[in-house]
Structure formats: structure tokens, C-alpha cells
Chains A and B, each alone.
Chain A
Amino acid sequence: AQKITQTQPGMFVQEKEAVTLDCTYDTSDQSYGLFWYKQPSSGEMIFLIYQGSYDEQNATEGRYSLNFQKARKSANLVISASQLGDSAMYFCAMRGRAAGNKLTFGGGTRVLVKP
């Protein structure tokens, strides 16, 4: 079985500052994928970034970067230079063979960016 844990239910961040969202996972798989999604108040799920378990480099996509620490089984999302539009729920998810290659989501972290 695989499990995703996001321990921060909500957090505030000042505009233009960086914020780190925690994500830890548990899996018996050697090969797996880690994803972050953003869900703004409008409700849609927006794909942000992907990290493969065998990727040697941490993934980056614009202002998003993933701090992947495989030995600690953590995949934290870093948002640099926060903007008001970053206010949203953020979900960490993983896909692994132990769960039939199905996506398992964490409970989410709500981020509010203050002006």
C-alpha cells in the first residue's frame, strides 16, 4: 500500500516570499512518481510538477521546485516569490505499482498569500 501525508493543514505566506509545503510518503515500490497539484477556489485541479523516483535532479517548473529527499521519503514543494494568485489548496500525490499504478492523494495544504 502507499500513503501520502501532508501535515500542514493551512499556512500564511507574505507576498514575494518563498513557502515550503511538506509532503511525506510511504511505499514499498522502488519506482514511483510524485506529483503536486494546485486547486484554487474555482475548484479545478491544476498539475504543477512531477518527480520520478529515479530522477537525479530535483524537478523545477518556473517558480515551483520539488525538494526530493528519497531516503527520507519526502517531496516538499517550494514556491518562490509568492503571488496573490498562489492562494489555493495544494495536493501532493504519488503513483506506484504497489497501488496498481493508481494516484494516491494527500489531504492537502491550504496556502493564503498576504499582500
Chain B
Amino acid sequence: NAGVTQTPKFRVLKTGQSMTLLCAQDMNHEYMYWYRQDPGMGLRLIHYSVGEGTTAKGEVPDGYNVSRLKKQNFLLGLESAAPSQTSVYFCASSLTRTGRTDTQYFGPGTRLTVL
């Protein structure tokens, strides 16, 4: 059981370039999330998904798009990267969204730098 995995672990982009971050989970979780963490701060929700084929905006969605074509995968895309998107990105998944089983389990993170 790998849990939640993220690729890549590190990436450096130039302003205006695009990229996709991949998150995969093998726990058969229904819900998946993308967060960003800026220095000295807690995590902020970018987008989330409540099931295959569905996505919704979180707290800071601008500049990002997501897709959930398969239940186990959740992709985060940056179409035109900006220096303000330099951050550490975390993916998480949970079995449910309420009750004790809504605990979110996190991937190891992707450190993105936009020059």
C-alpha cells in the first residue's frame, strides 16, 4: 500500500510555462484534494474532487485547473505559471467527507519554483 503518491517531487518552471502535477492514491478513497503551502503558513485548498469525473473550487483556485478522470488519480494543472505560484503542493485523499472516516491522508508534496 503506497498510500498517496505525487510526481514530480521537485520542479522548476519559467514564467508562462505549463505543467501538470499527478496525484495517485491506492486506498480507494472517494475524495481527493489539492493544497498549497507557502512559507510559514498552513495549507490552503486549491481544488477538490468528490468522486470520479467531478471537481470543485477551493479557497485559492485561480491559475489552476484539475481533472479526475480516474478514481485513483487527481491532476493539477498550471496553464501559465507565475512566480506567485511558487509553493509546496500537497495532494490528499479521504474515504468520506464527514465523520471519523473523513481523515485526509497526504502525499509527500511537490516543491515548485517559478522563475
Contacts and interface: CB of A to CB of B under 8 A. Distances in A.
Interface stretch (A43-51, A65-73, A79-87): A43-51
B45 A107 contact: no
Size bracket, chain B contacts? 20 to 34
Nearest to A46: B106
A44 B104 contact: no
B103 interface: yes
A40 B5 CA distance: 18
Q: Which of A37, A43, A46, A50 has the most CB of B within 10 A?
A: A43
Mostly, the A contact residues are strand
A112 B45 CA distance: 27
B109 A105 contact: no
B41 A107 contact: yes
A91 B103 contact: no
Contact of A45 (B90, B97, B98): B90
B110 to A, nearest CB: 10
Contact of B102 (A4, A43, A101, A106): A101
A43 B105 contact: no
B58 A47 contact: no
B108 interface: yes
B109 A43 contact: yes
Contacts of A102: 45, 48, 58-59
A103 B45 contact: yes
B59 to A, nearest CB: 8
Interface of B: 33, 40-45, 48, 58-59, 88, 90, 92, 97-100, 102-109, 111
Given A35-B103, A44-B108, 18 more contacts: A43-B108, A43-B111, A45-B106, A46-B106, A50-B103, A52-B100, A91-B42, A93-B42, A101-B97, A101-B98, A101-B102, A102-B58, A103-B45, A103-B104, A105-B43, A107-B41, A107-B42, A108-B40
